Amino acid sequence: MTTKQWFQGVIKLIIVIIIIWFLLELSLSVRKRILKASKQPITMTMTITRTITTDVRAYCPKECCVPNPECLDGRFANNEIAQGRAIASNSLLRGTVLRVPGYGVAIVKDHGPNLIEVFFEKHEDAVNWGVKRDVQVEVLR
């Protein structure tokens, strides 16, 4: 191997390293952008993608409403602390954003036996809601 060949080999290696570095940077920036977009706050101006007509049951985080003892850890199925507004569903993907009339905009964070259940921190609020029949639930995202 001559000095010239060795030198050309080094140059090629450097070019390959630069290309790999560039591709890694590119994929990282795309990932960052996707992450940023997913963290954007929920606004009421989002377009409705579809409407589901369904019964909506309410539940609280305690044993009165959660029959499975393993689920009584004060957290939703997505591991967030069980508080605020949230939806439990047996068929909608976690992270789906819904607008439930009388409840508001909430994200599917939990699993449950029904199509849509709305979460209340207090059992009495869940009892007040009970089961609402044929609610027009809007799927926002």
Measured from the CB atom, the residue of 121 and 138 that comes closer to Zn ion is 121
CB 45 within 8 A of CB 138: no
131 lies in the site for Zn ion, by CB under 5 A: no
> Least Å distance between CB 24 and Zn ion?
49
Q: State yes or no: residue 66 binds Zn ion (CB under 5 A).
A: no
124 HSE (CA, 13 A, CB side): 0
Q: What are the two backbone dihedrals, phi and then psi, of residue 110, each rounded to the nearest 5 degrees? A: -135, 165
**Which residue in 75, 94, 111, 123 binds Zn ion (CB under 5 A)?**
123
CB of 71 to Zn ion, least distance (A): 12
Q: Is 20 in the site for Zn ion (CB under 5 A)?
A: no
Residue with Cβ nearer Zn ion (59 or 99): 59
For residue 38 the two structure tokens come to 């997913």
* Alpha-helical runs (H) found in the chain: 3-38, 123-129
- Residue 60 in the binding site for Zn ion (CB under 5 A): yes
Q: Give the integer Cα–Cα distance in Å for 93 and 75.
A: 17
- Judged by CB under 5 A, how many residues of this single chain contact Zn ion? 4
Handedness of CA 109, 111, 115, 119 (dihedral sign): negative
3-state secondary structure of 36: helix
Nearer to Zn ion among residue 94 and residue 123 (C-beta)? 123
Q: Does 65 bind Zn ion (CB under 5 A)?
A: yes
Q: Which residues bind Zn ion (CB under 5 A)?
A: 60, 64-65, 123
